[in-house]
Amino acid sequence: MLSMKKARWLAAAAVVALAACATQGAARSDAAPVSASAAAAAPSKPSAPAFVAAAEAELEALAEEAGRADWMRQTNITYDTNWIAARANARITERASALAKEAAAYDTAGLDPVVARKLELMKRGLTLPAPARAGAAQQMADIATKMEETYATGSFDLAGNKIDLEEASKQMATSRDPARLAQLWQGWHSISPPMRADYAQLVSLANEGAKELGYADTGALWRSKYDMPADAFAAETDRLWSQVEPLYKQVHCYTRQRLNARYGDAVQAKTGPIRADLLGNMWAQQWGNIYDIVAPRGATQGVDLTQRLVANRYDATKMVRTGEGFFSSLGFAPLPETFWQRSMITRPQGRDVVCHASAWNIDNREDIRIKMCTQVNGEDFQTVHHELGHNYYQRAYKDQSFIFKDGANDGFHEAIGDMVALSITPEYLRQIGLVRTVPDASADTALLLRMALDKVAFMPFGLLVDKWRWQVYSGQATPETYNAAWWKLRTQYQGIAPPGGARPADAFDPGAKYHVPANVPYMRYFLSHILQFQFYRAACQQAGWTGPLHRCSIYGDKAVGAKFDAMLKMGQSRPWPEALEAFTGQREIDASAVADYFKPLQGWLEEQNRGQTCGW
């Protein structure tokens, strides 16, 4: 799930995660691109404050243009909407890249701290910087648009039927036929090999642009975005993984033994990696869809949220209205009427769209929207809360200056809605009338296991996607070894393996995951899966909750909402440790809240795994 802060630049043309471009003239949405060489030939260099002011003015205009173009493309994929969006994104990529280089030329020593921070954010705000040479930005935009179209319109033939990702995902979630699951997995992964050459070319161009900015490669640029040196951030991700890895290995060990009991040694061995297609999700990133296989013997899940939504006659719009109600209960203003008029809440008929859920702020003020192909089920009920978290964050910082209109770091943006989704507890469901009574503590093991199958199982995948891309950008992984490097990391961190053994020589399995062809950095999701528990624990402490952490709901607590809103309003104006401290009292990301939340489950898993050979 994504936040489209100022349009889908980072996905279509790999432009800015927030900040990026400016001219020294008037701000116009139809301004012609200005080359870096032309900027360098200007008679005099403006002062740093003047340069930043011009940057923000132009960026605001270009952002809205690119946002509207990309919204049209994602909600109606045609040759013409692709053409329009690619050119809008090329314009902003070219300007962003050129002006990032100009920002880097300013000495920030002695400058006003606000101006200095904006210059730094402009320099590192690019996702895939374009080289300065003429035509490079358009080339990058065309490649990126082509890859994302390949993904969005991808399908494969299975027994005479055309299967797209939406249908394949539905079947993978429900089928318990290992032969069928292998066919679905292999079918979807057949759509990505044509992307490999384009992806390699895009990597080469981005690295050229990153080096012009003074970075070793694009991966180093990405790692520089976290208010610490790039190498320090890489070490930080390893530290955080070390905090959650023991719990993940217990979940993996338990899940593997239950899959073995279901399918037998010929399908899933008692030891070694888990077969990737058996976990209920195309990328084995969340395992909740196989809860029926791994559910504790003799235990009930407590609440079947999908069943309760259907029984209470929820439709997609009512699900979104309910998500809005949660934020209203914390004291946030209702969503604007334009949200309901302009959002894509369900999949439209008769046209191709990008169904991947995302939240948008088209004008960086009040034109907030979501884009989802919402279905009435428990998973999408949680996704609605997540996407609205992006929207309320966007709205909270709308009065910041343009370059500060973003999350404290990208992990914050993803964690906000998920923190609220953690409050979708049985108590919350009772408060909104979806259940009459709250299950007693006997259902807690099942509840926590179901949560761990989604939250804990995701963490290694959230970590490894960008670890793979760091290897790609550094040249450690070459086009010929892209796939081998991908599976080495997936086995190392997730303990999974592809069905059918060795992959074909032309396979490009990373391209079968949306965020790779869409060029969306992924470490944010790993960080968010830790931050959301840290935020949640802090919110429950502020609410005075003294029971088990997993049973807490902050629904209706306006005092918590006010403190939460104060952090959100900071946007990116201060380094993220300050924003974190403002709400949690801590300046370091801390995965101990994950351990606190799942503490009852950890002991239960260790008991279930006694005598098993865990690990792979």
Q: How confident is the model at residue 42 (pLDDT cuts 50, 70, 90)?
A: very low
- 436 and 426 Cβ atoms separated by less than 8 Å: no
Letter string b/e over residues 525-564, b meaning 16 or more CB atoms within 10 A of that residue's CB: bbbbbbbbbbbbbbbbebbebeeebbebbbbebeebbebb
Q: Residue 183: what pLDDT? A: 97
Mean pLDDT confidence for 5-12? 36
Residues 554, 560: contact at Cβ < 8 Å? yes
DSSP 8-state symbol, 135: T
Concatenate the DSSP letters of all residues of 334-366 into one string: PPPHHHHHH-B-SPPTTS----S-EEEESSSSS
Q: Please name the residues in contact with 112: beta carbons below 8 A apart, sequence gap of 6 or more.
A: 49
pLDDT at 481 over 70: yes
DSSP structural state of residue 152: H
Mapped onto helix, strand or coil, the DSSP state of residue 497 is: strand
554 token code pair: 């902050």
Percent of the chain with pLDDT over 90: 77
**Residue with structure tokens 């402009």?**
122
Q: Which of the two residues, 124 and 226, has the higher pLDDT score? A: 226
550, amino acid identity: H
pLDDT bracket for residue 309 (50, 70, 90): very high
Q: What pLDDT is attached to residue 4? A: 53
**Lateral strand order in the sheet of 2-4:** 2-4, 358-361, 368-371
User: pTM, whole model, 2 decimals?
Assistant: 0.86
Query: With 50 as the cut, is the pLDDT of residue 10 above it?
Result: no
Nearest in space to 422 (alpha carbons), one of 452, 458, 392, 395: 452
* Per-residue pLDDT tens digits for 426-447: 889 999 999 988 888 778 898 8
Q: pLDDT by residue (tens digit) across 84-100?
A: 998 998 888 788 777 88
**Does the pLDDT of residue 270 top 60, yes or no?**
yes
Q: Which residues are catalytic?
A: 356-357, 386-387, 390, 414, 515, 525
**Which helix H or strand E contains 275, and what residues bound it?**
strand 274-275
pLDDT for position 211: 94
Are 222 and 125 spatial neighbours (Cβ–Cβ below 8 Å)?
Answer: no
Please state at what angle helix 482-489 crosses helix 196-212, rounded to 10 degrees. 80
pLDDT in tens, 184-221: 999 999 999 999 999 999 999 999 999 998 899 999 99
Rg (CA), the chain: 24
Would you tell me the crossing angle of helices 558-569 and 523-542 to the nearest 10 degrees? Answer: 140
Predicted pLDDT of residue 6: 41
Contact in structure between 394 and 437 (CB atoms under 8 Å): no
Length of the chain: 616
- At residue 179, the 3 state secondary structure works out as helix
What amino acid occupies position 595? A
Give the pLDDT mean for 538-551: 94
Taking only the tens place, the pLDDT of each residue in 331-345 is 999 999 999 999 999
131 dihedral zone (left: phi>0; alpha: psi -120 to 50; beta): beta
Distances (CA, A) of 429 to 270, 529, 553, 560: 38, 22, 10, 19
**pLDDT tens digits, 346-379:** 999 999 998 989 999 999 889 999 999 999 998 8
Percentage above 70 pLDDT, the chain: 92
Residues 236 and 217: their CA atoms lie apart, in Å, by 19
